[in-house]
Structure 1
Amino acid sequence: MKIASLQLKVYREKEKNLEQLAEWMKCEKLQDVDMVTLPEMFTCPYQTELFPLYAEKEGGPSCRFFSDLAKKYGIYLSAGTIPEVDENGRIYNTAYVYDRTGNQIAKHRKMHLFDIDIQDGQTFRESDTLSAGDEVTVFDTEFCRMGICICYDLRFPELAGLMAQEGAKVLLVPAAFNMTTGPAHWELLFRQRAVDNQFYTIGTAPARDMGAEYHSWGHTIAVDPWGTVVHVCGEAEQIQITEINLELVDKIRRELPLLRHRRGDVYEVRKR
């Protein structure tokens, strides 16, 4: 299986982001891939006050665009994330996945909201405008079962562990770590989750734009189930193609059977 991760710049105009994606899809490097993955908040600048302005209902214009693109190229498309508004006006940071025929096969609402205040670093409060999702998301392809989570979700090992227990062999993570947390934890977290759960981790980030209000770390990454970094980008726009070896996943899980050795019967905080 070949996965192409597109580290693209995010423009202020929603339509320009969709137009640039259509142009990148014409690239010869993408003609024989099975899946394309996009960054977090791909159609919207990463600013909390803009999320409600850019939000669309499920099945809206951006979703139809993604569906048509997946069908046109006969690929699986993990369409990064976009702001989603539900029937009650709640806003979510939502990832959609489409199959080769353009059907939506997965939807994940970011479960853990990025509310942080780092001294001499980044301050950010997604909860000012976003609501939190509450579902673990896995989906099936003709190759294997995959899981998907969003950026800050990756910091919580319980979530990745549940996806592995549900059979995921690849974890997709549209994400936009910043210039404080990125250098410190980006590679570390993707390697940790890969080793913990013995699956591939694919992190797709926006390209860095120092003219924007939010500065993405970039460094779109792929890590194999042994914890080895297979590919990592820099900060500029780039395509990263990863060949997934599912036999390696099976081999590592067979020889070092962490999932089978889990002690779910004792992993709880007990009252004393």
Structure 2
Amino acid sequence: MISSKRQINIACLQTRPRPDFKSALDEAITLAEEAVAAGADILTLPEYCGGLKTEGSAFAPPFEAEESHPVLKGLRDFAKNRKKYLLIGSIAIKGPAEKILNRSFIIDDCGNIISRYDKIHLFDITLSEKESYR
């Protein structure tokens, strides 16, 4: 049996929390282009790569419906144009009754969503009188 092994290069991109869609997408695309230039075949992005800000002690990520989410669209276009697979750690998606869903996606090299997962909130924590997460 002849074995043909192919090396696959995976890039783990680390974006910083951005307060809006445009700056979040701009940073993700810049890092993705650098990774592709360095030979990456598959790119991974972190949780809330579509934007994250705080309002007081609460997280307040910018969110939009999946079908009109500008960061998701931009990353799908990137995957299609550059023929790369993407794992999107998560972006905030508008759910039913204005609920925010923390959704992860896998995008194929044609820009199609081939998998999605809504992350489940598992715990609450109070760190101090001023800092808590629910």
Per the TM superposition, whether the score is higher than 0.5 is yes
Alignment of 1:149-188 (within 5 A): none
Identity score, percent: 27
Match of 2:3 in 1: none
Cα 1:30–1:114 change in 2 (3 A) is: farther
Structure index of larger Rg: 1
Question: Which amino acid in 1 is paired with 2:36?
Answer: L
Aligned counterparts of 2:50 and 2:74: Cα–Cα separation in 1? 12
Question: Which amino acid in 2 is paired with 1:111?
Answer: I
Aligned counterparts of 1:34 and 1:13: Cα–Cα separation in 2? 28
Match of 2:36 in 1: 30
Match of 1:59 in 2: 67
Which TM-score applies when normalising by structure 2?
Answer: 0.77
Aligned counterparts of 2:18 and 2:100: Cα–Cα separation in 1? 20
Q: 1:109 aligns with which of 113, 118, 124?
A: 118
Aligned counterparts of 1:106 and 1:59: Cα–Cα separation in 2? 15
Structure 2 gaps, min length 5: 1-7
- Per-residue deviation, residues 40-60 of structure 1 (Å, max 9, x unmatched): 111222534523xx1111122
Match of 2:28 in 1: 21
Q: Does the aligned pair in 1 maintain the 2:24–2:71 contact within 8 Å?
A: no
Say whether residues 1:82 and 2:100 are aligned partners: no
Q: Does the aligned pair in 1 maintain the 2:91–2:104 contact within 8 Å?
A: yes
Which TM-score applies when normalising by structure 1?
Answer: 0.41
Cα 1:13–1:90 change in 2 (3 A) is: closer
RMSD, matched Cα: 2.3
SS of the counterpart of 2:93? strand
> Structure 1 residue 114: deviation in Å?
4.2
Structure 1 gaps, min length 5: 126-272
